[in-house]
Amino acid sequence: MSVTGSDLLGILAVGIVSVTALIAMLAGVFLKNSARLVMWLGLAGMAGAFAAAWGTYPSAGTAFGGMILAGGYASFFGMLILCAGILTFLLASDYLRKEGVEYPEFYVMVLFAVSGMMLMSAAADLIIVFLGLEIMSVSLYVLAGFMRRREKSIEASLKYFLLGAFATGFLLYGIALIYGTMGTTDLAGIALRFASAPPPSLFWVGAGLLLGGFAFKVGAVPFHMWVPDVYEGSPTPVSGIMSTGGKAAAFAAFLLVFVKSLGGGGAKVQTLLAIFAALSMVTGAVIAIAQKNLKRMLAYSSIAHAGYMLTGLAAANQLGESGVLYYLVAYTFMNIGTFGVISLIEQAEEKRLEFSDYAGLGLRQPFLGIVMSIFLFSLAGIPPLAGFFGKYYVFAAAVDAHMTWLAIVGVLASVVSVYYYLRVVVFMYFHEGPEGAEVISVPLLGSVALLLSAAGVVGIGVFPSSILSLTGWFF
């Protein structure tokens, strides 16, 4: 047994992120007041990893004896997750200073979380799925409680940890049962056995547990209870990366196991996924209406979006799979952007998080008003922005797979969701702000991140084929 150069090339991107995280950890503890330095170090590392993922993208294959995917699919998700990481870094530095918790450890933990997400989305073996999931989750548990003097942050961390550990147990038990019935944890091997003979019933118990674990991580009904409290309590940039990078990694592994390996898992699994999808869309959209706190509203909206993405998974056809990948890219840009604007408006002690705090903002601060409107219109699914095409692809896939009812539920839910997204816009432009409301100075890095996200939302909305041509050959 030995490691070849191609093995190392296959994990180059995730390797760069991990090594950067280790160096950043030492830099953070040896140098005084090094938070800024660590942030730039992390940004440089992630940019390097992005270049590595881009460079290895054309050569799809596996590395380390078929344990891990290299290039292609893995590179695509690597680049997506690195985008989420870079945007989070840019938005976080000023937010952390405002809240008085600007420590280098924040950036180190985000880097570790990013490396876990990348590993999870590159899994060719159930063990790697588990490994990546744990690296990601443990980092996110810590990040959720990063503001350790704030009660809500601690509550978010504890809730996420307890429920997350339980869900990981589900997932691991599912892996054990699948290993027990199929004799391998290798996804390609499982696919071969699954295709050659009907698996024993115990296999379906394992697959069900695995499904529960994944549904928890993507925040789909009926495993969504943690989402609102955790997104509300976590520091805002953390909610941003949790809802985008974390979701992308979980969906990447979900797709690898259930669609690529099990071919959709048959009609029963597809129906189950469709039910999860419908419940998520309706629950998320309806409960979000009643929210006053913007972070909590976005948490319920995130449940609804998990439902839209699950629609593509339930359809399990080529359009649905590409649609989910497209949706994840679109969702990453628009959701990190929205959380970014919220993190700028938010003041210490969890102030300025309600709808009414946005009154008159669009006229007072034109830049924030315009980018926020772009993100919200995209989340609502209004053409020509990215969110519209994401929904279009997954609903078209559902119709193709003879699940027209699911597409109808989705369209109705997304009509409901327009209400609460546009309500923010209405507050921003059609309500008078309070007398003498202060104008928030927008930091340079934050505005760069918002501009990049807005450009992403508009760009891939106007040219959806740019993403589809990247993902078309994966399936």
Binding residues vs other proteins (CB under 8 A): 1-3, 22, 25-26, 29-30
Question: Are 249 and 77 in contact, with CB atoms under 8 Å apart?
Answer: yes
Q: Is the peptide bond before 384 cis (omega within 30 degrees of 0)?
A: yes
The single-letter code of the amino acid at 342 is: I
Q: How far is the CB of 110 from other proteins (least distance, A)?
A: 16
Shortest approach of other proteins to residue 26 CB, angstroms?
A: 6
C-beta of 146 vs 377, nearer to other proteins: 146
**What is the 8-class DSSP label of residue 11?**
T
Which of residues 26 and 415 has its CB atom nearest to other proteins in the complex? 26
Cα distance between residue 374 and residue 330, in whole Å:
12
Spatial contact of 157 and 242, defined as CB atoms under 8 Å apart: no
Least distance (Å) from other proteins to the CB of residue 234?
A: 23
Distance (Å, rounded) from C-alpha 9 to C-alpha 30? 31
Residue 386 CB, nearest distance to other proteins (Å)? 38
Nearer to other proteins, 26 or 411 (CB): 26
Residue at 113: amino acid letter = A
SS3 content of the chain, % helix, strand, coil (to 5): 80, 5, 20
Least gap, CB of 61 to other proteins (angstroms): 21
**Residue tagged 């995130």 (tokens):** 302
Burial bucket for residue 19 (CB in 10 Å: 0-12, 13-18, 19+):
middle
Using the minimum distance from each CB to other proteins, give the nearer residue, 30 or 267: 30
**Least CB distance to other proteins at residue 375 (A):** 37
SS3 238: helix
Tell me the C-alpha to C-alpha distance, in Å, between residue 174 and each of 61, 168, 207: 26, 10, 6
Q: How far is the CB of 111 from other proteins (least distance, A)?
A: 13
Q: Between residues 15 and 459, which has the closer beta carbon with respect to other proteins?
A: 15
Please state, as a whole number, how many other Cβ atoms lie within 10 Å of the Cβ of residue 323.
29
Query: Given the complex with other proteins, which of 3 and 290 has the nearer CB atom?
Result: 3
- CB 25 to other proteins: min, Å: 6
Residue showing tokens 């509300």:
232
Question: Residue for token digits 């548990």?
Answer: 141
Residues in a beta bridge with 125: 186
